[in-house]
Amino acid sequence: MRTLREHGALSRAQLAVRSGLSKATVSSLVSDLELRGLVHSAGISAGGQGRPGQLVALRPTSVSGVGLDVHVGHVGAAVTDLAGDIVFRRRFVCDVPALGPERTIDHLAELATAALAEVDGLVGPPVGVTVSVPGLVDTSAGTVTLAPRLRWRDVAVADELAARTGLPLDLISVDNDANLGAMAEQAAMNGESGDPVTDLVYLTGDFGIGGGVISGGRLVRGSIGFAGEIGHMGMDPLGPYCSCGRRGCWETRVGLGALLHACADPDDPVRDPTLDLDQRMRMVRARAAQRDQRTLDALHQIGSALGVGVSILVNLLNPAVVVLGGYFAALPEWLVEPIRNQVVAGVLAPGAGGARVVGSRLGFTASTTGGALAALRRVLDDPTVVPLNQPEDEEAPA
Ligand SMILES: [Zn+2]
């Protein structure tokens, strides 16, 4: 299934070559996947080498993956089909720290229920639901251990969501937003070019700053899953207080709060938490494009402070690419250059070890998309989670 997802429709002979499996094994696996409704015939291969053969392709509408997102300023949902294409996306603006976990999970459950109702008939049932949270997550228990920006501690997100939606608990998983964002960015980049990206650092650009690290093709989780909390790298022992209680953490310098504080007064709509973040970032973009000096100074200050931290990450990890997510992704024209200047000055390896710094194309949607893709992994890892003899809805009477 992974081979079909990467290469599109293939004949059984081509699948055997690409997977290294025997033709007999491929035929048997394809028959099994057909009975589960996960693949279907897709015509006859034309020309090329060898004899023409019946093509097999993933059946995108067979199942779906659901990504849910808890953010400081909103809850969100995205649903993808088996091909990873988005079929539903929605965001509900709310003040999550003020609402508290109970009411936030109420909203999240409503959003999940609405999403599943809306895609019913377009795509098959979900094979998984992944909730993205900006904080430390115990993925085995489906709980949030600590999320300072949300003011959450020991919240049983998977249990609470299952109770409210009626979804089976084993379908629901919880993960860190930066880890999911890194997976989504890697998938998007791999889709664009032939060479897979194996070494990537993804930065969430939010009130808090998280890091998702993919090294040697694998997500780095650390010994008990808490790796990547780069927003709390101590940069200045006398600096401003952070949501975690310490002083001078990197995110106090480069988080969304630092930008908003530097570029606008408290009564400015840019700082209005009831407005959607994308809308507020468009205002900042417009001011920078009109060369508003206060905005340009703020962006230069953020970019330089970002570059100091990115240099540390590049010295440590030698990534091929550093992806700027979240609010950074709305402003790469003004952030990338000061970051690059700091990285060139601060990295020992010549040419910064080849590291590129780029803005994300996914912005604030990376973690929900990553959640939906992570949910699909359940069926890619083990197609038997989908029962045999699923009805072929394509052949059902109208
Ligand atoms: Zn901190």
The 10 Å CB-count burial string (b at 16+, else e) for 228-259 is bbbbbbebeeeeeebbbeeebbbbbbbbbbbb
Q: What is the pLDDT of residue 6?
A: 83
Q: What is the pLDDT of residue 202?
A: 98
Q: Which residues contact 209 (CB under 8 A, 6 or more apart)?
A: 203, 230, 231, 250, 251, 254, 255
> Could you tell me the distance, in angstroms and rounded to a whole number, from the CA of residue 110 to the centre of ligand 1?
32
Measured CA to CA, the distance from residue 394 to residue 71 in angstroms comes to 38
> Could you tell me the distance, in angstroms and rounded to a whole number, from the CA of residue 364 to the centre of ligand 1?
21
> Could you tell me the distance, in angstroms and rounded to a whole number, from the CA of residue 113 to the centre of ligand 1?
35
Residue for token pair 């949910």: 375
Residue for token pair 């084993």: 170
Torsion of CA 170, 126, 201, 214, to 10 degrees: 60
> Could you tell me the distance, in angstroms and rounded to a whole number, from the CA of residue 51 to the centre of ligand 1?
62
Residues 124, 63: contact at Cβ < 8 Å?
Answer: yes
Q: What is the pLDDT of residue 322?
A: 97
> Could you tell me the distance, in angstroms and rounded to a whole number, from the CA of residue 323 to the centre of ligand 1?
21
Residue for token pair 């033709």: 23
Q: Which of 377, 374, 379 is nearest to 390 (CA)?
A: 379
Cβ atoms within 10 Å, residue 54 = 14
> Could you tell me the distance, in angstroms and rounded to a whole number, from the CA of residue 146 to the centre of ligand 1?
12
Residue 55: beta bridge partners?
11
Q: Which residues in the chain show pLDDT less than 50?
A: 395-398
- Tens of pLDDT, residue by residue over 189-216, are 887 766 789 999 999 999 999 999 999 9
H-helix segments, the chain: 2-7, 12-19, 23-35, 96-119, 157-165, 177-192, 250-254, 256-263, 277-289, 293-317, 332-346, 366-381
Q: What is the pTM of this model?
A: 0.90
Task: Provide the 3-class DSSP secondary structure of residue 89.
Answer: strand
> Could you tell me the distance, in angstroms and rounded to a whole number, from the CA of residue 231 to the centre of ligand 1?
7
Distances (CA, A) of 36 to 56, 75, 179, 338, 352: 14, 33, 30, 52, 48
Q: Which of 375, 235, 379 is nearest to 305 (CA)?
A: 235
Cβ atoms within 10 Å, residue 134 = 28
At 281, list the tokens: 């970032």
CA dihedral (365, 169, 378, 227) positive or negative: positive
Residues 322, 310: contact at Cβ < 8 Å?
Answer: yes
> Could you tell me the distance, in angstroms and rounded to a whole number, from the CA of residue 232 to the centre of ligand 1?
4
Q: Which of 250, 239, 237 is nearest to 309 (CA)?
A: 250
> Could you tell me the distance, in angstroms and rounded to a whole number, from the CA of residue 163 to the centre of ligand 1?
33
